[in-house]
């Protein structure tokens, strides 16, 4: 038994489901980089689309069951903490998905197998495959098993992300909202790197990079926050904080 065959067997053991449709499973485990876009290679991008909808349904069901009196706004806030590529990538690693996946040599070389964004998408594709092969109950069982820790995190105090912190800092000083601009998008389609610049009126723009545009925006905001905190710490005059 080769390494990948063993990894697929371990994946099925962890999720508690053996696929009847082996071609469907293989498609869910195949990254779009395989075949370099050749139409003959069936990869998991279409499954991601379905899996995202199934994941949202399972999360919404669970939230409503946990608190029948919760308001829509509160449930939407909690959904954001459950349905995102960070949570999906953690589930992907927990079920053994990275070792079972197929990547092109170039994608593997640039670290696609360890990318949260790539693994998050693959997890959604796996959820779709479970839904097709075993029905909603099978997909729901996967969600309840591998999102158990995510629900525990919902009760923990959450630090605001850098973009929110930067926005609040600017608003607190009567400044316009931070403006984000895409500076560059480099690398292959299956593993791009984004460079984003963020500008706050009166301050030198800062840049950040990430595997997704959202990550790059957060990195840029964090750089801006660190710069303005350092400036404010070294000056007792508000006007001296301008870089």
For residue 208, count other CB atoms closer than 10 A to its CB.
22
pLDDT in tens, 196-214: 999 999 899 999 998 888 8
Q: Indicate the DSSP class of residue 191.
A: S
pLDDT in tens, 29-52: 999 888 765 556 788 999 999 999
pLDDT in tens, 176-188: 999 999 999 988 7
| Secondary structure of residue 239 in the 3-state scheme | helix
Which string of b and e fits 52-63 if b means at least 16 CB within 10 Å? bebbeebbbebb
H or E stretch covering 81: helix 72-82
**pLDDT computed for residue 9 by the predictor:** 96
- Gap between the Cα atoms of 17 and 138, Å rounded: 8
**pLDDT computed for residue 239 by the predictor:** 40
Percent of the chain residues topping a pLDDT of 70: 90
Annotated catalytic residues are 52, 124
| Secondary structure of residue 57 in the 3-state scheme | helix
Confidence of residue 233 (pLDDT cuts 50, 70, 90): very low
Provide the whole-model pTM. Answer: 0.69
Confidence of residue 160 (pLDDT cuts 50, 70, 90): confident
Residue 142 has pLDDT above 60, yes or no: yes
**pLDDT computed for residue 41 by the predictor:** 77
**pLDDT computed for residue 237 by the predictor:** 44
For residue 214, count other CB atoms closer than 10 A to its CB.
16
pLDDT averaged over every residue in the chain: 87
**Sheet holding 193-199: strands in order across?**
179-186, 193-199, 206-210
pLDDT in tens, 69-120: 989 888 888 898 899 888 999 999 999 999 999 998 888 888 888 888 899 9
Confidence of residue 21 (pLDDT cuts 50, 70, 90): very high
Confidence of residue 241 (pLDDT cuts 50, 70, 90): very low
| Secondary structure of residue 222 in the 3-state scheme | helix
For residue 242, count other CB atoms closer than 10 A to its CB.
13
Closest CA to 220 of 183, 171, 168: 183
Confidence of residue 192 (pLDDT cuts 50, 70, 90): confident
Residue 127 has pLDDT above 90, yes or no: yes
**pLDDT computed for residue 39 by the predictor:** 58
Q: Of the ranges 1-10, 14-23, 26-35, 229-238, which one carries the lowest mean pLDDT score?
A: 229-238
């Amino acid at each position: 038994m080769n390494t990948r065959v063993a990894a697929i067997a371990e994946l099925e053991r962890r999720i508690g489901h053996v696929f009847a449709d082996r071609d469907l499973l293989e498609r869910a485990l195949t990254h779009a980089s395989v075949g370099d876009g050749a139409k003959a290679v069936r990869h998991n991008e279409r499954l991601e689309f379905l899996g995202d909808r199934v994941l949202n349904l399972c999360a919404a069901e669970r939230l409503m069951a946990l608190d029948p009196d919760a308001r829509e706004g509160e449930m939407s806030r909690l959904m954001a903490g459950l349905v995102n590529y960070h949570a999906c990538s953690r589930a992907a690693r927990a079920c053994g998905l990275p070792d079972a996946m197929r990547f092109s040599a170039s994608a593997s070389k640039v670290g696609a197998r360890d990318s949260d964004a790539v693994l998050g998408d693959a997890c959604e594709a796996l959820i779709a495959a479970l839904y097709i092969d075993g029905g909603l109950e099978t997909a729901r069982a996967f969600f309840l098993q591998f999102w158990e820790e995510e629900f525990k995190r919902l009760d923990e105090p959450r630090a605001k992300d850098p973009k929110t912190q930067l926005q609040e800092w600017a608003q607190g000083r009567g400044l316009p909202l931070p403006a984000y601009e895409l500076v560059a998008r480099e690398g292959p389609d299956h593993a791009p790197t984004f460079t984003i610049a963020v500008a706050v009126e009166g301050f030198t723009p800062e840049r950040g990079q990430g595997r997704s545009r959202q990550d790059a925006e957060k990195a840029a905001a964090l750089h801006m926050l660190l710069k303005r905190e350092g400036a404010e710490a070294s000056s007792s005059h508000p006007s001296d904080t301008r870089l």
